Amino acid sequence: MNYSITPIARIQSPFKSKFGIPRQSGLSPSVLSRIIFEEKYRYPSALHGLEDFSHLWLIWAFSENLDAPWHPTVRPPRLGGNKRMGVFATRSPFRPNGLGLSSVRIEAIEKDPSLGPVILVSGADLLDGTPIYDIKPYISTDCHPEAVCGFQDRTKAYRLQVDIPEDLLTRIPLGLQPGLLEILAQDPRPGYQDDPDRIYGLVYDRFDVRFTVADRKLRVIDIAAADTL
């Protein structure tokens, strides 16, 4: 039986390119995003009761990779990009059906006069404009404190020291600064790149952030308006 699904919503997030997006949801809890429903799903009644929950599951599409081939094994960036694992043992975007799953915190449910109900969430790891196929409330039975998380347990403590000169940091609005610091501390570089002389860049919201990394220290060297670069 053939079965097709269509997006019910799209996300508005500060992530304008894939480089720099957190590798998992919840790693950057200060980052705020908005879930905007497609027109035919803008029913306030469809969200009735959601205000009693604190978190959501988002089921979404790796829309930038839908035409990319998948392989039985992949090389997780956190393992240096040179060790292969089974695709179903990873969160790789290169999957047979290109579906993503993220847990986010509900910050507010707003009523927009032109967009209908809008859900403000924190901790999302979705590219701006990503189609969302479904949302489901996160419940206590979804939590397994005793869970063993494979190679993720060995890499989750990895962090960089972030140095942003004050004159550069002030170019970022105060509300965006905590999220940017969280993203940079996670080391957005691919695991196989470790060139202290290389200048990296990521677009966060409307800003282009340039930085270098050496000896587990990330130093921001420039921040400019993304549309001027």
- Give residue-wise pLDDT tens across range 78-136: 777 678 989 999 888 888 988 999 999 999 999 999 999 999 999 999 999 999 999 99
User: What pLDDT sits at residue 177?
Assistant: 96
Residue range 184-198: mean pLDDT, rounded: 86
Is 189 within 8 Å of 201 (Cβ atoms)? no
- Give residue-wise pLDDT tens across range 17-26: 888 898 889 8
Residue range 60-86: mean pLDDT, rounded: 83
By mean pLDDT, which of 122-136, 150-164, 212-226 is the weakest?
150-164
User: What pLDDT sits at residue 202?
Assistant: 93
202 beta partners:
209
Query: Which of 5, 6, 12 has its CA nearest to residue 115?
Result: 12
132-146 per-residue burial string, b: 16 or more CB within 10 A, e: under 16: beebeebeeeeeeee
Instruction: Give the mean pLDDT of the chain.
Output: 90
- Quick one: pLDDT band at residue 155, thresholds 50, 70, 90? low
User: What pLDDT sits at residue 154?
Assistant: 65
What residue ranges define each of the domains in the chain, with the CATH number in brackets? 9-142 (2.40.30.70), 159-228 (3.30.2310.20)
- Quick one: pLDDT band at residue 157, thresholds 50, 70, 90? low
- Quick one: pLDDT band at residue 1, thresholds 50, 70, 90? low
Separation in Å, CA 46 to CA 41, 42, 101, 138: 8, 8, 21, 16
Query: Which of 163, 196, 193, 156 has its CA nearest to residue 180?
Result: 163
Q: Global pTM?
A: 0.88
- Give residue-wise pLDDT tens across range 31-63: 999 999 999 999 999 999 999 999 999 999 998
Query: Which of 147, 152, 146, 124 has its CA nearest to residue 36?
Result: 124
Please say if the pLDDT value at position 12 is more than 80: yes
User: What pLDDT sits at residue 194?
Assistant: 80
Is 11 within 8 Å of 130 (Cβ atoms)? yes
Tokens of 41: 């799903």
Tokens of 197: 């002389």
Tokens of 51: 């205000």
- Cα distance between residue 31 and residue 139, in whole Å: 22
